[in-house]
Amino acid sequence: MSEKKFISIAIDGPSGVGKSTIAKLLSKELGYVYIDTGAMFRTLAVYFNEHGIDAADEKAITEAIDSISIDIKYIDGVQHMFANGTDVTDRLRTEAVSQIASITSQYGPVRAKLLDMQRALAKKENVIMDGRDIGTVVLPDAQLKIFLTASSAVRAKRRYDQLLETGKLGGASFEDILKDQEERDYRDSHREIAPLKAAEDAVTIDTSDMSIDEVKAAIIDELGNFAL
Ligand code: DC
């Protein structure tokens, strides 16, 4: 019996470009499951951080990786991440975790651990998956690949406003946010394995001057090209 084929939509792009906001909205509208792969790298980062494992120490990270079990569960439609049975969802979004996730996602064993999980999730149902390498590596056969971009300043401003709004700025200035973001962008797009880049068959959308609704509409327009 042949496996049932599900639809996958890949959304890639740099930090702060609005991938998750757009992907969440689309997933609701289409009834697809939204999978935030950045949250998986962040879950490992929380573990490394809380166990005093230096992100720069590739050997120590590689040794630790087998002792971490990661689970993803949907609670009231929200993706929750578990590391060794503990729900760490609330700890994923700090600047420290962002940097550790960016550094440790360069290492082959870290990526390999998550790659199988990501592919398995897309085999079970229709998904919208966002990340850096979804269209290029994780789901090269995705029916629709979107690559979102926006200028560095626009993205940092969005992030700054979001942190301010949620009371998570912690004294950081706009320049701090911009600098951290530029560091991560550079690392994410220059690493050897699965760097951030648009797949050849991706549709690139520059969201710098677009509202969320406009971006969503542009993607829905692209979706019209195949039967849902
Ligand atoms: O999307 P995010 O900011 O939550 O991702 C955090 C880090 O995880 C990002 O800096 C790089 C890494 N990442 C990755 O390497 N590949 C992905 N598919 C998703 C995230």
Angle of the 95-104 helix axis to the 174-190 helix axis, nearest 10: 10
Whole-structure pTM value: 0.94
Q: For residue 132, how far is its CA from the centre of ligand 1 (angstroms)?
A: 6
CA of 191 to the centre of ligand 1 (A): 12
Report the nearest atom of ligand 1 relative to the CA of 19.
Answer: 1
pLDDT, average across residues 82-89: 98
What are the tens digits of pLDDT across the range 87-146? 999 999 888 999 999 999 999 999 999 999 999 999 999 999 999 999 999 999 999 999
Class of residue 5 by CB neighbours under 10 A (exposed 0-12, middle 13-18, buried 19+): exposed
Strands 8-12 vs 144-149: parallel, antiparallel or unpaired: parallel
Assess contact for 128 and 26: CB atoms under 8 A: yes
Q: What is the distance between the alpha carbons of residues 117 and 121, in angstroms, rounded to a whole number?
A: 6
Tokens (6 digits) for 44: 């490992």
For residue 15, the CA-to-ligand 1 centroid distance in Å is 8
Q: For residue 161, how far is its CA from the centre of ligand 1 (angstroms)? A: 20
Beta-sheet pairing, 86-87 with 78-83: antiparallel
- Across 13-31, average pLDDT: 94
- Candidates 37, 107, 116, 159: which one to mutate for ligand 1, based on the most atoms within 8 Å of Cβ? 37
At 139-191, the pLDDT tens digits run 999 999 999 999 999 999 998 998 899 888 889 999 999 999 999 999 999 99
Cα-based angle 64, 65, 68 (whole degrees, multiple of 5): 95
What is the three-class DSSP state of 146? strand
